[in-house]
Amino acid sequence: MGFPSDRLSRRRTNVTRPYLTVPVGFAEETELREGPAARPWLAALPVVLEELCGEWELAPQGPPWHGYVAVVVPVLDAMGTPAALKVSWPGPDQAPEAPTLRAWDGAGAVRLLRHDAARWALLLERLDGNRDLSAEPLDEAIGTIGSLLSRLHGATGADEIPHLRETAARWVDEIPAGWAAAHPPWPAALRDEVVDTCHALGRAAPDKLLHVDLHFDNVLAAEREPWLAIDPKGLVGDPAFESVAVLWNRVEEYGGDARAVRRRLDQWCEAAGIDRAAARAWAIARIVEDALDRLLGAAGDENDVSTHQLLVAALS
């Protein structure tokens, strides 16, 4: 479901034709992650952006931002209103974004203006891409995220948005298998605890619409509201499943102190109105699942699980 490497850090690039040129860094990262399959998609991306600008009567206004899976071009629509054209790598995490934003209809989240499913394209209202919660005082940032989530969870999901029950059922099988192959730095009792969480909380998960990845970089300043959520992964289920995003970002501010981890979880639960026991259980499950994915994946920094170890120790 994603750890800090999945964050969309809105990095500007210097290009002369912003809607025709794919940022070099984005192309390199996409090809490294997806392999040769990325090449034809990246080659076609400038044409896709040009077609969308023509069909939707958009005027590119500057160089694009890019993140882990998407390019975002600042544009003006036919009425001269600022907007943002986003085209994402076609993948399962990106598929629920449009129906999730449509269900929220701008209440606590960026507003979806247009959607082209075939080209994985969204036209979004323009927010302030230079101001997110990453530099705001931590207590205020946690309170803002909790407040937004309490609003977002009031919506119900559409049929095309997957349910947490499906994810939890899959993890019941995948986590023991991954554990046996990866040999993570935890006792087997933790594996059993995670499987029990998936059994018990997964089956009982309510039908609330979740963001899944609402961390400090995924909340931007706006004009119609002080802050709005962006980049939802989209899932239907238990709001407590959201807890880990605020824990595994801005980790340098823990200073290695386990008490700081627990204090942040307490603050987030209070702000979002979420049961702490369930939030803790889901956080550990997601941390373990991500750690196994890293240990079984690419070599190098990507399989570093030191932050995972800090969080699990603090929450256990």
Distance (Å, whole) CA 304 – CA 284: 17
Catalytic hit among 213, 217, 231, 290: 213
> Residue 219 pairs with which residues in a beta bridge?
229
Residue 161 to residues 83, 210, 243: CA-CA distances in angstroms? 25, 10, 20
Residue keyed to tokens 């399962």: 92
Does the active-site annotation cover 105? Answer: no
Which 3 state secondary structure label does DSSP give 125?
strand
Contact 50, 20 (CB under 8 A): yes
Tell me how many degrees the CA angle 304-66-103 measures, rounded to the nearest 5: 95
CA 160: distance to chain centroid? 18
Distance (Å, whole) CA 69 – CA 67: 6
Distance (Å, whole) CA 98 – CA 302: 29
| Structure-token pair, residue 210 | 């979740």
Distance (Å, whole) CA 294 – CA 91: 19
> Residue 72 pairs with which residues in a beta bridge?
65, 86
Contact 42, 31 (CB under 8 A): yes
Q: Which residues are identified as catalytic?
A: 213
